[in-house]
Amino acid sequence: MTHQLLTMIWTPRIFQALLAAFADVKFFFLIRTLENRDTAAWTFFCYLCSWFSWYCCTRTLTNSMETTITCLALFYFPLPESKTHSSKKYVALVSLAVIVRPTALIVWLPLLIYHFWKEDDKLKLVTHTFFPIGASALVVSTLIDCIFYEKWTLVQFNFLKFNVLHSVADFYGSHPWHWYFTQGFPVVIGPHLPLFLHGCFLAFKRYKVLLAAVLWTLVIYSFLPHKEFRFIYPVLPFCLVFSGISLASLKSWRRAAAFFLLVSNLAAGLYTGLIHQRGPLDTMSHLGTLCDISSISSPPQPDVLFLMPCHSTPFYSHVHCPITMRFLECPPDLGEDGYIDEADRFYDNPLLWLRTSFPYKHSVPTHLVLFDVLEKEILAFLQSNNFVKTSEIFHTHFPEGKVGGSIFIYQRH
């Protein structure tokens, strides 16, 4: 893999990591102005110990950027006794978060209402801060989108229409209404949960606006059928404020609780960050070597087909060269009668799909990427077209359904 390719893969991650680290520092300075030195230190310890933060903060997801910007905005938000308050700065950051991911408005709506309610000069706040900054951000965002889409486009409205009004996100899976309360939130906050609940009793009056934002976010997201852990990541920093206050108050049990937090979060963070479901990245690193083959070899050029649930791996973001690649597509149902996506058609009868899609040997791809659970079903196709397994890549200790424990790469000879 060339240095240029490594740079293109790693630069976005390093940028996100540096931004997340900057937000971490801002969070510490904020807590130090709100609490005494001892409480601030233990709160920051809780913040740094979060396994889910380790797992998500450096990932190039819009949820990660939304959380980082939310943390920066909180530094300037008028919390009780805050010494770093700046309305214009936090509103500008909130506007940026909404542009990055419109769902940021869900998290910030209770906080914006709280600020409006506490402000003495409400009219000035709206006319000099909320409206001009919010409107400017929306105009700039719309102009940029229109330039790239080459037509008038309001992305924020399309996001709302696509995911909420038309419920297209449900196509990618749905969960019961209580999922965030019974599974999602407990997993995201992890071992901090008992401390969070205790901290809510200790600091309810002082930080009730943060608790309101957490509960509001969980309730609103519970109305949406499609649910994911990462959706509620932006409220995690709010929760860790309560966890830190609880830990600081334990006195005699403090060190034992801190040791448990560190060990349990370290185990979860290392496992999910380095081992669990690492197969897709390792697979793309392996396929990246085909770029060198593509530049020096004569036909047939590399032609890769991913026989996996759609979006199982990265794509050209990790293979920056013009080799042919395609995956089983699963665009959402936009109201078509009897709609069945390509991935579902494939998994209904994998062998028939392959024989129908590639009736002639010259049309068969040079490389197939698949989970181990699919191998037996398409073994006849692999043998008849002289495919040889060239790599077996670990993916997970917990295979489920169409997702296997290993990823196989087959090459046609």
Task: Give the predicted TM-score (pTM) of the model.
Answer: 0.90
- Are 307 and 206 within one domain? no
Which amino acid would we find at residue 386? N
- Are 172 and 240 within one domain? yes
Q: Of the candidates 250, 275, 300, which is a domain's last residue? A: 275
Q: Of the candidates 231, 260, 275, which is a domain's last residue? A: 275
Residue 394 bridge partners (DSSP): 406
Q: How far is CA 221 from the centre of its chain?
A: 15
* Domain tally, the chain: 2
Q: Of the candidates 252, 275, 298, which is a domain's last residue? A: 275
Per-residue pLDDT of the chain (413 residues; tens, 9 = 90+): 566 667 888 888 999 999 999 999 999 999 999 999 999 999 999 999 999 999 999 999 999 999 999 999 999 999 988 889 999 999 999 999 999 999 999 999 999 999 999 999 999 999 999 999 999 999 999 999 999 988 888 888 888 877 777 667 666 778 899 999 999 999 999 999 999 999 999 999 999 999 999 999 999 999 988 899 999 999 999 999 999 999 999 988 899 999 999 999 999 999 999 999 999 999 998 998 888 765 555 567 889 999 999 889 999 888 888 889 999 998 877 666 677 889 999 999 999 999 999 988 889 999 999 999 999 999 999 999 999 999 999 999 999 999 999 999 999 98
The reply to whether 363 falls in a domain is: yes
- Are 265 and 292 within one domain? no
Collapsing DSSP to helix, strand or coil, 383 comes out as helix
- Are 268 and 290 within one domain? no
Q: Which residue has the tokens 């309001």?
A: 154
The reply to whether 251 falls in a domain is: yes
Residue 98 class from Cβ within 10 Å (0-12 exposed, 13-18 middle, 19+ buried)?
A: buried
The reply to whether 407 falls in a domain is: yes
- Are 48 and 87 within one domain? yes
In terms of C-beta distances under 8 Å and separation of at least 24 residues, what long-range contacts does 220-225 make, across chains too?
A: 220/106, 221/106, 221/180, 222/177, 222/178, 222/179, 222/180, 222/181, 223/177, 224/163, 224/164, 224/169, 225/167, 225/169, 225/170, 225/174, 225/175
The reply to whether 1 falls in a domain is: no
Which amino acid would we find at residue 307? L
Contacts of 306 (CB under 8 A, 6+ apart): 312, 313, 325, 326, 327, 328, 369, 370
The reply to whether 19 falls in a domain is: yes
Per-residue model confidence (pLDDT) at position 297: 55
- Are 261 and 307 within one domain? no
Tokens matching residue 171: 């196509």
- Are 271 and 312 within one domain? no
- Omega prior to 300 cis, within 30 of 0: yes
Range of the domain at 301: 278-412
The reply to whether 203 falls in a domain is: yes
- Are 53 and 197 within one domain? yes
The reply to whether 154 falls in a domain is: yes
- Are 315 and 205 within one domain? no
Cβ neighbour number for residue 65 with a 10 Å cutoff = 21
The reply to whether 122 falls in a domain is: yes
